Structure 1
């Protein structure tokens, strides 16, 4: 039985886990990311996948593509993940892979090297069970997700166009909660230029950039008072140099999130109109930025795919819940291409981007079996 085979390989999974966690691979550590890619390259080639390590863009971002394509039809499934982490060189030396009770710890253990290993062990299981040749599959691992996937996103979207469905192996949330919707978003910079003056002797000669910016911040905050779940939060603000000088410059950074693509144009229009209506006469306002990541929306085909995953998990005795989140992933890009996308297909875990990031060890075999079983069903339907 497939489940028994997966259980016999649990220790191999942990060995693999230790190997890739103990490789520093922050987004700016290209050599570390390549080492992770080479680990997977060898294993995917061993099961017959056409595998290549790519170096994309001027920055030569290491990425991995592995394809199993018995026919020229679209890929039945695109397996999507990222090899980079947010942790700097030296993090592994400070806190290498470790196990305490039912949890594993280490840099990127949850976000998302555990998910990458789920992909590998699922495909090795399908090969062992003789199921692989009934499916057309593509593995797409990038190396710049944590910095926005600026170099790899076009490659990801073009692969999604050739795929029937996408599984994203970001961590499954505690309680076996999977992500069907993610907000899209972007960043804006609001820059105000005023006129400096002596704050005591002749303040009337100045134009207070900080005061002007404060009025603009109030306007921006009103975007949060809506029924569309758009959010706009001023997160960083600067202005002024000395206590006795009317400031001539101030600046605010704004994090914006949208739930549906139709909200993109109204939000961008709002920010583009800010320079036209300063509160203080003579103040000049400049706005930079845009919505650069589309929302991940759950359409009818995505819901149908979720029904298959949910029912498979429930037959295994797992609780299985679908959620929506404000955070982004590369699933936003695949979804924007019209490809049904389910996220959170990795190991159950939490506390991403923190030193206490963890995964639940008893979810490893469950997630490998769940994904493998779903793939088997899809193979029979193809």
Structure 2
């Protein structure tokens, strides 16, 4: 049977996705992420996989690894790598419920990336039901911390990828149905200003505001953005009482570049900003980093050619591109392991309260995944 003719059913897929989306799993809530991993582990066990629960660390939830039955189990095969954490806090369902509205369906984490993870499992489910054996053994690894740069599971992902011949990443697909064949380098930074507290009403001049100093530094940091390297500050925490001059302020910054050498130069520029500013200390600590995944890896080109052929059979021309917005594909691609990313569902509004998918992309992308699983050898 042609895997592109497998009987994927949109309504059935949405029914299966509903409990995934209604199990909210923000990165920093380890218990919530583990509840989502329970659901995925159960479904993969029901498909006959050998399932392992890997404990979390650094305060994050755990991971789930499933190896599906195959005559060559244990030999290099295909790794499907996805994350189950989302940026949406518990309670987002109150304002962004799982709901279909004609050709689109809403829900927190539906596009990034539970929808893609689900269609990967549904592709495996349909292949098993049809009695089709993939040429290579298939392993699925779901991890809990991608949205914060994968600090606790990068080595786990890299170790699993090293045991396999190919890596497929069902992150959200591009608007035109294209996929990602390379990603830019990304560095995160933890920032801190330390000032001098005082009473903001009675003794204002005695204080040195950490908030004011951080505000000035944010402008300086973002003004460093140029064509080769970007800088942005996306998180800031400070203050408790409005009548107190703040003594500390914490923030997080992100830098991105197309070339590793440009990111390395950007890191040096960030670290050089440290020092004393009129009695306020500014501290920069380098956080997690995603390496450049170059789009010219020969093995990735091979997978992409196969994907393009499958796309033609499905009725569209597939484009491949290198892009920003890191994923765990950065790690596997940088290792030189043939990797194809953005194989997940299509939609818009990811990381917002309008996150949604195009319903008709569920079956198309599931067929694409099934085709890849059957043609990679």
Bin the TM-score by the shorter chain. Answer: 0.7 to 0.9
Task: Name the structure 1 match of 2:201.
Answer: none
Task: Name the structure 1 match of 2:202.
Answer: none
Residue 104 of structure 1 contacts residue 358 of structure 1 at CA under 8 Å; is this kept in 2?
A: yes
Is 1:130 the equivalent of 2:127? no
Distance, in Å, in 2 between the alignment partners of 1:25 and 1:248 is 34
TM-score (normalizing by structure 2)? 0.82
Deviations 1:310-361 (A, max 9, x none): 2220232123222333212222222232222221111111111222211111
Distance, in Å, in 2 between the alignment partners of 1:123 and 1:239 is 48
Q: 1:4 to 1:155 in 2, by over 3 A?
A: closer
Is 1:172 the equivalent of 2:181? no
Task: Name the structure 2 match of 1:153.
Answer: 154
Q: 1:303 to 1:214 in 2, by over 3 A?
A: same
Task: Name the structure 2 match of 1:352.
Answer: 350
TM-score (normalizing by structure 1)? 0.81
Distance, in Å, in 2 between the alignment partners of 1:235 and 1:45 is 39
Distance, in Å, in 1 between the alignment partners of 2:92 and 2:248 is 38
Task: Name the structure 1 match of 2:315.
Answer: 317
Q: 1:185 to 1:136 in 2, by over 3 A?
A: same
Unaligned runs of 5+ in 2: 199-204
- Per-residue deviation, 1:240: 11
Query: What is the 5 A alignment of 1:229-268?
Result: 230-234=229-233, 253-268=252-267
Q: Indicate the structure with greater helix content.
A: 1
Secondary structure in structure 1 of the residue aligned to 2:189: strand
Q: Which of the two has higher C-alpha Rg?
A: 1
- The two structures, once aligned, show a CA RMSD in angstroms of 3.7
Query: What is the 5 A alignment of 1:57-76?
Result: 57=57, 59=59, 61-68=61-68, 70-71=71-72, 74-76=75-77
Residue 191 of structure 2 contacts residue 282 of structure 2 at CA under 8 Å; is this kept in 1?
A: no
Q: 1:221 to 1:148 in 2, by over 3 A?
A: closer
Query: What is the 5 A alignment of 1:202-351?
Result: 220-221=221-222, 223-226=224-227, 228=228, 230-234=229-233, 253-275=252-274, 285-290=282-287, 292-301=289-298, 302-351=300-349
Q: 1:252 to 1:374 in 2, by over 3 A?
A: closer
Unaligned runs of 5+ in 1: 197-202
